[in-house]
Amino acid sequence: MMKILKKIILTFAIGCVVFVIGNLLSNGFKYDSFNDFIIQFGFYQLYAFVLGYSNMAFFDYMERRIWGKRAYIKRVFIGILGSTIITLIGLFFLRVGTSMFYYGISFDAFMQKETWKAYSFGLWITLTIVTVFHFVYFYNRYQKNKIKEQKVIAGTASAKFDALKNQLDPHFLFNSLNVLTSLIEENPENAQKFTTSLSKVYRYVLEQKSKELVTVDEELNFARTYMSLLKMRFEDSIIFEIPDKASNPESKVVPLSLQLLLENAVKHNMVTTTKPLHVKIYEDRDHLVVMNNLQPKQIVKKSSGVGLENIKQRYQLLSNKTVQINQREKDFAVAIPMLTKQVSIMRTSQKSQARLNDDYVRARKRVEELKGFYYSLISYCIVIPFLIFIWYQFSRYTIQWFWFPMIGWGLSLVAQGYKVFVDNSAFGAGWEKRKIEEYMNKEDQSNRWN
């Protein structure tokens, strides 16, 4: 019902505008009587209703059709061609109807006097409106697609980051239980200590699971605790060097990165009393390096693919900096970036409620703006013809003063309609919002962790 009402209001407004333009180009609002004025206004409204509704129906049909992604030119060409044909057919039947039923002219007499010139004004007006309508439609569609694209990209990045983090929980538990199983067979006393320490370590895993980054000091403390677990199993077969604190207390790394690298070092290298594994953690400029002597196992268990690849992918989502891997003849080193600026990844899960509230406020504001515009448009279409009528009845031989409110109020109405319907164009409210988001995105890019 609301859609039909909007179409009626729109066609009535178009009829009023075309009525004003038509009179300006022809008789300059000179009518013999008020009845002539009303009749002429009614004819304009009839033409606007028939042509407007037929073109809207055609546009709805075009919208329901499935178009290819790059069929914009074809869509516009068919739209304008179809509107031209519909307008010409509509004008012909309207002119035939008014000539025969209102003026009493026969069909043959009508056809003898009919020329293409009679269709030029109606066709020009219709094509102008259709062209503007297509431009606004495709521009708004382009903006909506861009917003949808950005939401998909942001949502995908966020979901991927969460999936990568969720890999760590079962992965850590699985590997720790494997270590515990081996330790029970080798040293039952240490297995008990390992179980107690494992509960403390696993608590850290659960606490950091929801975080994107942790401070280097937190990660070093956890690595120290995890090293103690490894020492229970390997005793003197593994030797660790680790700094007490980070040089920059504000620097951060992805959670459990050191644990994964330490685990990889043990998994892929021999750890024996005769060939102890030396693992050293140290800072190198803006990187935290985990280095071990290279003594590969002859038979390596099939890897789950979580460790190093997980760290690399998480850093790709957070920063422009990459994880560096350096394998030499006698040692193997992995350098993870220490990040110092605020992360810019979108957290859809944490901000969904706030964004929902913002969307509601914007939608409500949009509805209020639309209502205000339609009320103004209806008032304009009622008041201006009434003022013209007053001028014509009481002061038509004086200055045409009705132009002043018509033009002034009309410009105000155009500005209001521009703000409501062409919101994303230059200098509109949407333009302002888009430019703000553009600058914010640039700031986000510069503020990606580095």
When mean pLDDT is compared across 86-100, 203-217, 321-335, the lowest value belongs to 203-217
Q: Is 450 helix (H, G, I), strand (E, B) or coil?
A: coil
Residue in 23, 46, 142, 26 with CA at minimum distance from that of residue 101: 46
Q: Mean pLDDT score of the chain, rounded to an integer?
A: 75
Rounded to an integer, the average pLDDT of 323-332 is 90
Tokens 């709805």 — which residue? 60
The yes-or-no verdict on residue 187 having pLDDT over 70 is yes
What tokens does 430 get?
A: 């949407």
Residue in 135, 115, 13, 67 with CA at minimum distance from that of residue 422: 135
The yes-or-no verdict on residue 425 having pLDDT over 80 is no
CB under 8 A, 24+ apart: contacts of 307-313: 307/260, 307/261, 307/263, 307/264, 308/260, 308/261, 308/264, 308/334, 310/164, 310/167, 310/168, 310/260, 311/254, 311/257, 311/260, 311/261, 311/336, 313/160, 313/164
Does 46 or 192 have the greater pLDDT score?
46
% the chain with pLDDT above 70:
72
Phi, psi of 291, deg, nearest 5: -125, 140
Element (H, E) at 158: helix 117-186
Residue in 39, 48, 57 with CA at minimum distance from that of residue 122: 48
pLDDT value of position 280: 95
Q: In what order do the strands lie in the sheet with 287-293?
A: 238-241, 277-284, 287-293, 331-337, 324-327
User: Alpha helix locations (H) across 98-116?
Assistant: 107-113
CA quadruple 143, 145, 147, 149: dihedral, nearest 10: -150
User: Alpha helix locations (H) across 235-302?
Assistant: 257-268
Q: Could you report the per-residue pLDDT of 99-111, keeping only the tens digit for each?
A: 888 888 888 888 8
**Bridge partners of residue 269, in order along the sequence:** 296
Give the other-Cβ count within 10 Å of 160's Cβ: 15
Q: Could you report the per-residue pLDDT of 46-56, keeping only the tens digit for each?
A: 888 888 888 88
Element (H, E) at 242: none
When mean pLDDT is compared across 17-31, 322-336, 414-428, the lowest value belongs to 414-428
Give the rounded distance of the alpha carbon of 133 from its chain centre. Answer: 24
pLDDT value of position 346: 40
Q: Could you report the per-residue pLDDT of 240-260, keeping only the tens digit for each?
A: 999 999 999 889 998 878 888
pLDDT value of position 345: 43
Does 128 or 214 have the greater pLDDT score?
214
The yes-or-no verdict on residue 342 having pLDDT over 60 is no
Rounded to an integer, the average pLDDT of 261-277 is 87
Tokens 């199993």 — which residue? 233
pLDDT value of position 193: 77
What tokens does 374 get?
A: 């339609």
Phi, psi of 317, deg, nearest 5: -80, -15
Residues near 79 by beta carbon (within 8 Å), at least 6 away in sequence = 58, 59, 62, 130, 134
Regarding pTM above 0.75, the answer is no
What tokens does 380 get?
A: 């304009």
pLDDT value of position 12: 84
Q: Could you report the per-residue pLDDT of 373-405, keeping only the tens digit for each?
A: 777 777 777 777 777 777 776 666 667 777 777
Number of helices followed by number of strands (H, E) in the chain: 12, 7
Alpha-carbon distance of 148 to 421, in angstroms, equals 19
Does 164 or 131 have the greater pLDDT score?
131
